[in-house]
Structure 1
Amino acid sequence: MTRARRVPAIEEDEEMYAVCSTEFVNESEETLPVTQFAVRCPQLSLFQGGSGFWTNAMRATFSADSEGSQIEILKGPPAQAGDATLVCRPRSPASGRWRALTFSRLVGSRGG
């Protein structure tokens, strides 16, 4: 289960969660209403710092073509994690940027 938040609010009973700071870039001319998106966890590192667990930050760029979104996993913990330490490296390390159908079901469901 995932819950997207604009500002992470870590609660005491959420110790098993990790925050994945994600920037969405919309290069299309349409509004991109995002309510859900898929995150490929095996490609993320896990860090512990400050108030809990964090993953690498991500950038997802949507360009309205059929090839999907361009995904980039940034190195290290996000700035919000403070002085976080590495807990676990990714199970399937990603190299550079790649394309994925992160928003495909959402785009298809809005009638376009």
Structure 2
Amino acid sequence: MMSSASELISFRVRSAVLKANNAMTNQKEVLEKILAPLAEEGIDVSGIDLVDMKLDREAALALQREVRMMVMRGQHTTVDLDGVAIPLSSEEINTLLKEILIPYQKSGASK
């Protein structure tokens, strides 16, 4: 009797861990698709870390829209004193994107 209860608990824990890992994998895949326009512009997106931010549908759509607008407006680059466009660093873009997601994190927590 004791072993079946512990097996059930173990199964539930493993199931929860697998679901969490699957969600993380799905979120990584979604982020890769969202960040693709930046990668096409030559930005190193490997340094962009948004995994700790929870992405629901609304947040993902907002992030996708902002990334596209960032590329379209040229906000993914800066200009040096010689007038040469320099891509922003991954850390700078990471900060910009996290600022976009902050309102979605707060609204998701209150639901």
With the length of structure 2 as denominator, give the TM-score of the two structures. Answer: 0.30
With the length of structure 1 as denominator, give the TM-score of the two structures. Answer: 0.30
Determine which structure has the larger strand proportion and give its number. Answer: 1
Higher alpha-carbon Rg? 2
